Amino acid sequence: MTDRPDASLARTIARRDFIRKAASGTVIAAMGGGLYALSDHLTAEAKAQERADGRPRVPPGQRVITALKPMGGQPGDPSRSNATIKIHGEVENPLSLDFRELLAMDVVDTRADVHCVTGWTMLDARWKGVRVKDLAEKAGLKRTARHVIFEAAHGYTANVRLDEGIADDVMVVWEHDGRPLRRPHGAPLRALVPDLYFWKSSKWLTGIRFTRRDEPGYWETRGYNNHADPWKEERYA
């Protein structure tokens, strides 16, 4: 999943141009997808709402859409029967859990807004899965852990600070809106980190690795912001 430097740079510049247009108008581009027209009337009511933490529900530069967009990437094996997820790194008891073992844990059915760096937001998306903090507890998270690295098919990774990676709403999910995840959305398992831009919610998830040091991931090493807070518009480094 590597690009030649010239091709990678060209794609980064193109994405920046589309995101700039999205923030100021009504057009966004999906990574690996088409163009989508977004009407301001879809966001007016949501932009007037506040979250419990006092921040506006819709971050700046975002438009609300009503269906989750597949944002590209190189798919992994979508089969639940073959699914395993490793919980490793700075833990006392590394784990390798199959799908049935995940189902036997404390399964959570919740709703969460998600925000894509390309400029779209989806509100009240329904998700089912298990909390990352429960997986961390099961594996015996060490005091030395400072970061969470979400590992996915074909070597893709995304890095998250520990406090944000084990927040109550951060999950490993296998259902979206009452149905199994479709392959373009990361089947059978994906991460869900709703308070950061959606590229942090790695699709086709294969592992969660806790580390002492930060390890910038696939997009972070290609010019995207290391933290990715939508309310601060941390899109690029």
At 108-147, the pLDDT tens digits run 999 999 999 999 999 999 999 999 999 999 999 999 999 9
User: For residues 49 and 56, is the Cβ–Cβ distance under 8 A?
Assistant: yes
Give me the pLDDT at residue 148, please: 98
Give me the pLDDT at residue 46, please: 86
Average pLDDT estimate for 169-198: 97
Average pLDDT estimate for 188-216: 98
Give me the pLDDT at residue 35, please: 40
User: For residues 127 and 110, is the Cβ–Cβ distance under 8 A?
Assistant: yes
Give the E-state strand segments of the chain in sequence order: 27-29, 35-37, 63-65, 84-89, 95-98, 108-115, 120-131, 147-152, 157-161, 171-176, 179-180, 190-192, 205-211
Ranges of each domain in the chain? 68-232
User: For residues 105 and 58, is the Cβ–Cβ distance under 8 A?
Assistant: no
CATH architecture of 68-232: Alpha-Beta Complex (3.90)
Please write the tens of the pLDDT for every residue from 52-89. Answer: 999 999 999 999 998 899 899 999 999 999 999 999 99
Nearest CA to 186 out of 233, 146, 119, 129 is that of 129
The mean-pLDDT minimum among 38-47, 120-129, 209-218 falls in 38-47
